[in-house]
Amino acid sequence: MPEIGQVHRTEYELRLDRSIPVVAAEAPGRIHFLGGQGDPASGFFLSSAIDRFIQLAVSPRKDNSFRFFAADLGERKRSTLANMKYRREDRWANYIKAAIFLFMDLGYPMYGLNFSFCGNIPVQIGLASSTAIEAAAATALRSLLRVQINDMDLAQRLHEAHVKFFGSAASLADYQVCMQAHKDQFLVIDTSSGEIIKIKSPLAKFHILLVDSRVPRMGVESELVLRNADTVKGLEFLSQKFDGVKFKDFSPKDLLDALGDFPEQIRRRSIHIVDEIHRVQDARDALQRSDIASLAKIIFHSHESLRDLYEISCPELDWLVKRAQEIEGAAGSRMTGHGFGGCIYTIIRRELVEEYKRRLEEYERIFGFRPVIYEVKIAGGARVLNKRREAYANTVN
């Protein structure tokens, strides 16, 4: 990626004026290794940040307008305080505006600002690139405005701001990973309680590969709405028998007994959610014991459940996962993201990476799409890239 501070100073002609502070920050993409379906009904995740980032720079203006520059796209947007709301035509700029909205909602006075960003997070395959834009913008603004708020609270506030700004639901876990991740650590997240357990990765001898299936994801949103509706109905049925329960209150066996004669489709979705909660807990224990064999079984079983019970996989994703299952030394492979195409991840011993890639060479001949493979590492969360900045209020006055 280009150096975002330099890109920013060039775009806004600040190269010769070093008196204007420029704050640069970055925020990572993320993988949900387990969990991610039925949220917020379940709210359990095994996740990490990855070493693919959005980098963003911000500086004050001497007027009250807001300018946005997407360096990778060569696109520019603009806004004002009066128009600091969601506008469909603003596309990517809406995510930066959501971060501005956060600090406005907290009562901080806002003046004109310039923004620039670039990144290398693959988009539209479930790696939370849009969350990373919001988190990078919020991290840079926190520094520029000298706001005393820690990463945990900022993740919570940013999630709330997104919901208010866009008028739609979002996963709190995405923000928690983006803001609170640590290098070489897995996060076990319970969004219903706010608990986050950090586990040092025992995968030093393994590589993590992301494989983009390149399958067009048409009509996915309506299918996801149906899946979420089924999980909500399942929890409603259970609440009629057991007041105030959540899916995490059931063991898999207790759930089967409680479901009784529920509609089959709702049974399947509910069973997946409860089994996945327990898979997250079992994976936590396996990671803490450095039990890679057990972790692999848990991850493979999770994909099978997504295929057979939650029904959001597809033949292309199943084929990619199957190739990993055939290799002794793979520590798991599973779809990640919303499904119906998109991306899988495979954890595999470093000496077997090329063998796995060779096995994927038949994919294009069979399905007609050429997969794209990314090698990633477990990374840290959002951070400021430069420390030099002056008080924002003093600069604009």
Cα–Cα distance, 298 to 317 (Å, whole number): 17
**Per-residue tokens: 129:** 């690139």
291 flagged as catalytic = no
Cα–Cα distance, 137 to 141 (Å, whole number): 6
With residue 228 as reference, give the H or E element that holds it.
helix 220-241
Cα–Cα distance, 366 to 356 (Å, whole number): 17
Q: Is the dihedral of CA 362, 367, 369, 371 positive or negative?
A: negative
**Per-residue tokens: 167:** 């008028």
**Per-residue tokens: 7:** 């890109």
- Rg (the chain; Cα; Å): 22
Q: What are phi and psi of 20, to 5 degrees?
A: -85, 120
What are the CA-CA distances from residue 356 to residues 205, 208, 302, 318, 352 (Å)?
A: 16, 12, 20, 15, 6
Closest among 251, 218, 228 to 171, alpha carbons compared: 228
The burial class, CB within 10 Å (0-12 / 13-18 / 19+), for 260 is exposed
Cα–Cα distance, 273 to 251 (Å, whole number): 11
- What single DSSP character describes residue 270? H
Q: What are phi and psi of 13, to 5 degrees?
A: 55, 50
Cα–Cα distance, 207 to 296 (Å, whole number): 14
As a 3-state breakdown, the chain gives helix, strand, coil percent values, each rounded to 5, of 45, 25, 30
Which of the residues 39, 151, 174, 230 is marked catalytic?
A: 174
Q: Which amino acid is at 239?
A: S
Cα–Cα distance, 354 to 338 (Å, whole number): 27
Catalytic positions, please? 174
